[in-house]
Structure 1
């Protein structure tokens, strides 16, 4: 698995239109916090018990057309969940998996707020909210 900054990930996606951008956050985060333009939502873990989605790899395989060569770029809030999800894809045989470091909202600042230090939104990359 390779790790990219948000800007590197955006540039990669622009130059590789066949790549999938998968947002692995919870459905609530995806819908109400916002998400990168073009991101497809497949939760790594969600729900009241925050359990790992047992169908995650299968859902991504389906989106990838069952091709493990298709590039998959993963993003979450801060880069941690997407890294775990990426490890599961690599274990399942995916060859081109990328984790977006700092995620959509970035690291916490000194006041424990996000979006002020790093992340997709902080970097001014295209995003939308449902």
Structure 2
């Protein structure tokens, strides 16, 4: 697993059209907070009990098709879930995995707010909400 800044992740995604971009936040975060444009939502953990999704690896394999060598870029809120998800994918045989540093919303600022210090959205990269 390697880490990339949000801008470097975007550059990689633009330069490697086969790369698979996975937002591993919950479905509610993906829908209501917004998400990077082009990212597929496969929650690492979700639901009322916030349990790890037992189908995560299988869902990513399905999106990747037959190409386990296909680069996978993972993003979450701040970087913690994507690291855990990357370790699971590595264990399943995925060879090229990147985690986006600071995630979609970034680190907390002094007032405990996100989107003010760093992260995909803070850096002005393309995102959408619906």
TM-score for the superposition, normalised by structure 1: 0.99
Per-residue deviation, 1:80: 0.5
Find out whether 1:57 has 2:31 as its counterpart: no
Offset from partner CA, 1:77-128 (integer Å, 9 cap, x none): 0011001000100111100100001000000000000000000000000000
What SS does the corresponding residue of 1:83 show, helix, strand or coil? helix
Q: Give the match for residue 46 of structure 1.
A: 46
Q: Secondary structure at the match of 2:32?
A: helix
Cα RMSD (Å) of the superposition? 0.5
1:73 correspondence with 2:67: no
* Alignment-derived partner of residue 93 in structure 1: 93
1:68: how far off? 1.2
List gaps (5 residues or longer) in structure 2: none
The count of aligned residue pairs is 130
